[in-house]
């Protein structure tokens, strides 16, 4: 059964493997999901496998589908229990590039009530969230360098006509960059470097200020007065006109930069959001009828806001209470949710179609 109560919300009461097989390749921008943990909970949905190997085989099949449907610049966030998380991370690492193994520290929970005398090991107070992207996609640290390099290249290409004009005029007037720098230092009363590299060079090119440009006009025309008189004067273009050309190119550059930025995996941290791999969020308070693993909305909002852009498609193949969907819809994303249990599905559908956050 597939419900589509709005163009942005698609819910399936089905086994996720059946639905995933129907989704097109590279059709989802973020998979944010919380599969069964394997025998961590008494619920029937967590005890579907005879042993851990069978669970791992099943999860491997799910991850194969995730790898197929996730877009190249997409993000995967997958929750795991502390006990199974290293095995789950290994399975993810066979298909995706793991970026973080996030530790969600729960401020409240049963660990506070545990009987110390009866404990034979430490009580888990955390859940794990493996954050990954496709192999070959830009990796978080390399992305910054790659992005900066790409922007510098774009910048160089877009502003090349202006740079070539300035440099061509310099050559026509017979001045070297070193001579111009020396003259500029003398004019400014400065020691050290100069500006020729910025005005005439390809890397770090910058438009001269009006004051510097008018000085350059005087300088470059000073050696051969008369020979280069108008209309053959060097740098005959007046500054207002030159700056208008620059403004047009600047708009082209900003457009290209924005197009390039849109191709990257989104990752924008809000000022108040955790920026490390240790997250502290209160669990969802207990209440009658609550899904036993309902994820807190602040946590889900943090993931969605950091790793999606409005209009993108978010998938949760293990919908549960629907917290991922609430956060995705709030952020202006399309949402696909899959849940196999009929009663759990009905509750999530009601919550999502009402769009009333319960925490």
Ligand X SMILES: C[S@@+](CC[C@H](N)C(=O)[O-])C[C@H]1O[C@@H](n2cnc3c(N)ncnc32)[C@H](O)[C@@H]1O
Binding mask 23-62 for ligand X (x = CB under 6 A): -----------x-x--------x-----------------
10 binds ligand X (CB under 6 A): no
| Minimum CB distance to ligand X, residue 5 (Å) | 19
Residue in 64, 179, 277, 341 binding ligand X, rule: CB under 6 A: 341
Q: Which residue is nearest to ligand X (CB)?
A: 320
Choices 69-77, 163-171, 261-269, 286-294 (CB under 6 A): range interacting with ligand X: 286-294
Instruction: Kindly determine how many residues on this chain lie close enough to bind ligand X according to the rule CB under 6 A.
Output: 18
Binding residue for ligand X, selected from 265, 295, 349, 351, defined by CB under 6 A = 295
Least distance in Å: CB of 265 to ligand X? 22
Among 28, 293, 329, 331, binds ligand X (CB under 6 A): 293
Residue 320 interacts with ligand X (CB under 6 A): yes or no: yes
Closest approach, Cβ 16 to ligand X, in A, equals 4
Q: How many CA atoms are closer than 13 Å to the CA of 251, on its beta-carbon side? A: 5
Residue found under tokens 């956060």: 327
Please report whether residue 180 would count as binding ligand X according to CB under 6 A.
no
Please say which residue, 134 or 295, places its beta carbon nearer to ligand X: 295
Does residue 85 bind ligand X (CB under 6 A)? no
Q: For residues 16 and 180, which CB has a smaller minimum distance to ligand X in the complex?
A: 16
Q: What is the 3-state secondary structure (H, E, C) of the chain?
A: CEEEEECCEEEEECCHHHHHCCCCCCCEEEEEECCCCCCCCCCHHHCCCCCHHHHHHHHHHHHHHHHHHEEEEEEEEEEECCCCHHHHHHHHHCCCEEEEEEEEEECCCHHHHCCHHHCCCCCCCEEEEEEEECCCCCCHHHHHHHHHHHHHHHHHHHCHHHHHHHHHHHHHHCCCHHHHHHHHHHHHCCCCCCCHHHHHCCCCCCCCCHHHHHHHHHHHCCCCCCCCCCCCCCCCCCHHHHHHHHHHHHHHHHHHHHHHHHHCCCCCCCCCCCCCCEEEECCCCCCCCCCCCCCCHHHHHHHHHHHCCCCCEEEECCCCCCHHHHHHHHCCCEEEEEECCHHHHHHHHHHHHHCCCCC
Q: Minimum distance between the CB of residue 320 and ligand X, rounded to whole angstroms?
A: 2
Interface with ligand X, residue 339, by CB under 6 A: yes
Kindly tell me which of 212 and 358 has the beta carbon lying closer to ligand X: 358
Q: Which stretch binds ligand X (CB under 6 A): 114-122, 127-135, 160-168, 290-298?
A: 290-298
Chain residues binding ligand X by CB under 6 A are 15-16, 34, 36, 45, 291, 293-295, 318, 320-321, 323, 338-341, 344
């Amino acid at each position: 059964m597939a419900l589509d109560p709005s163009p942005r919300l698609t819910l399936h009461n089905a086994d996720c493997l059946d639905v995933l097989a129907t989704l097109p390749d590279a059709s989802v921008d973020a998979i944010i999901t919380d599969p069964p943990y394997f025998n961590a909970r008494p619920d029937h949905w967590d005890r579907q496998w005879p042993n851990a190997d069978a669970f791992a085989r099943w999860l491997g099949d799910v991850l194969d589908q995730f790898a197929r449907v996730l877009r190249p610049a997409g993000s995967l966030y997958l929750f795991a229990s502390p006990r199974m998380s290293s095995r789950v991370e290994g399975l993810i690492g066979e298909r995706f590039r793991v970026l973080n193994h996030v530790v969600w520290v729960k401020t409240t929970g049963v660990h506070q009530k545990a009987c110390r005398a009866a404990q034979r090991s430490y009580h888990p107070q955390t859940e794990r969230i493996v954050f990954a992207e496709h192999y070959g996609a830009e990796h978080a640290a390399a992305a910054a360098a790659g992005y900066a390099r790409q922007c510098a290249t774009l910048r160089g290409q877009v502003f090349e006509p202006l740079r070539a004009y300035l440099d061509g005029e310099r050559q026509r007037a017979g001045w070297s960059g070193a001579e111009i720098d020396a003259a500029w230092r003398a004019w400014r009363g400065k020691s050290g470097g100069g500006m020729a590299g910025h005005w005439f060079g390809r890397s770090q090119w910058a438009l001269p200020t009006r004051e510097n440009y008018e000085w350059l006009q005087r300088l470059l025309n000073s050696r051969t007065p008369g020979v280069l008189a108008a209309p053959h004067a060097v740098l005959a273009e007046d500054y207002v006109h030159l700056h208008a050309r620059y403004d047009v190119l600047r708009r082209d550059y900003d457009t290209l930069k924005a197009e390039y930025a849109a191709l990257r995996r989104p990752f924008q941290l809000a000022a108040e959001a955790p920026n490390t791999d240790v997250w502290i969020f209160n669990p969802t308070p207990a209440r009658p009828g609550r899904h036993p693993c309902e994820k807190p909305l602040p946590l889900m909002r943090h993931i969605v806001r950091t790793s999606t852009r409005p209009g993108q498609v978010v998938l949760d193949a293990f919908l549960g209470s629907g917290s991922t969907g609430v956060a995705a819809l709030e952020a202006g994303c399309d949402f696909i949710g899959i849940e196999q249990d009929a009663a759990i599905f009905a509750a999530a559908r009601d919550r999502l179609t009402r769009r009333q956050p319960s925490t």
